[in-house]
Amino acid sequence: MNIAICDDDKKLLKDFRHLIEIHMDLTGINYHITEFTSGEELLEYKNKKDIHLLFLDIKMGSVDGMETARQLRKSGKKMLIIFVTAYPDFVFQGYEVQAFHYILKPYRETKIKEVLDRAISELDIRKEHSLVIQQRSGILCINTQKVTYFKSDKRNIFAVSTEGTDIFYGKLNDVETKMPPCYQRIHNRYLINLNYVSEIGSNYCICHDEKLPVSRTYRHELAMAFAKMMLQ
């Protein structure tokens, strides 16, 4: 799980991180924490889409927490946002950015544990439609409902989705075993999501407006799988 904390008070940020680490260590879940001291720094972070859980202070510098959350949602980021604030009035603005929860300052350790447990439970539900990849930099969580196809290039796997492309190290055969029934192998290097297929030719298919090769080995299986899906 990739966790981010954004607070312009470095002491509070350090203390808050320590409390999160205490509880996460007890869960046995692999996690990685990234710290930010401003909304601007968070918005400029290149791996924002890998964040699963964000603890966000509201009262910060020129870009406050609420505006930071608006920008994250505007760019399509789906992480759980938990506001940490000393101002309860902001609670009523949270619906605008689909805030998951609030922690009011001064916070109690038990409250942080409670919110973390709820967030972990929520993220676990989301895993039903996710491929979770452990990497050196942290955990990559891919929404398999939005992936149009996987492509293998040597030992690199490209997960092409409606939101962009993620790259990770692995084998396409291993990915295939973890996919739901809507996925079909069409080539040694390609695994497609049938939900995005609009046309099948003799040696190709159109998947989300991209023309992909279909090898002779998988041609019949693809036709049968596509017909079965269309008749459901």
- Domain regions of the chain by residue span: 2-128, 144-231
**Would you tell me which CATH number, out of the four given (3.40.50.2300, 1.10.10.10, 3.30.565.10, 3.20.20.120), belongs to the domain 2-128?**
3.40.50.2300
Q: How confident is the model at residue 206 (pLDDT cuts 50, 70, 90)?
A: very high
pLDDT of residue 91: 65
Residues 4-15 have pLDDT tens digits of 999 999 999 999
| Nearby residues of 197 by Cβ (< 8 Å), 6 or more positions away | 205, 206, 207, 226
Q: Of 222, 132, 212, 214, nearest to 182 (Cα)? A: 222
User: At a CB cut-off of 8 Å and minimum separation 6, what does 108 contact?
Assistant: none
DSSP symbols for 35-62: EESSHHHHHH-TTGGG--EEEEESS-SS
Once rounded to an integer, what is the mean pLDDT over residues 130-155? Answer: 86
Of the listed ranges 47-61, 112-126, 180-194, the least confidently predicted one is 112-126
Q: State both tokens at 221.
A: 């299986």
Alpha helices in the chain (DSSP H): 10-27, 39-44, 65-74, 109-126, 172-177, 216-231
pLDDT at 125 over 60: no
Return the pLDDT at 49: 72
CATH superfamily to which 144-231 belongs: LytTr DNA-binding domain (2.40.50.1020)
- CA max distance for the chain: 65
CB distance 122 to 99 below 8 Å: no
pLDDT for residue 95: 66
The predicted structure's pLDDT at residue 61? 81
CB atoms within 10 A of CB 5: 23
Query: Which of 99-103, 155-159, 204-208 is the least confident region?
Result: 99-103
**CA neighbor of 61 nearest in space, from 94, 34, 84, 38:** 38
Looking at residue 161, its pLDDT comes to 93
pLDDT tens profile 46-94: 777 779 999 999 988 888 899 999 999 888 888 899 999 887 776 666 7
| Sign of the CA dihedral with 8 first, then 108, 122, and 169 last | positive
Predicted confidence band of residue 143 (pLDDT cuts 50, 70, 90): confident
pLDDT at 231: 53
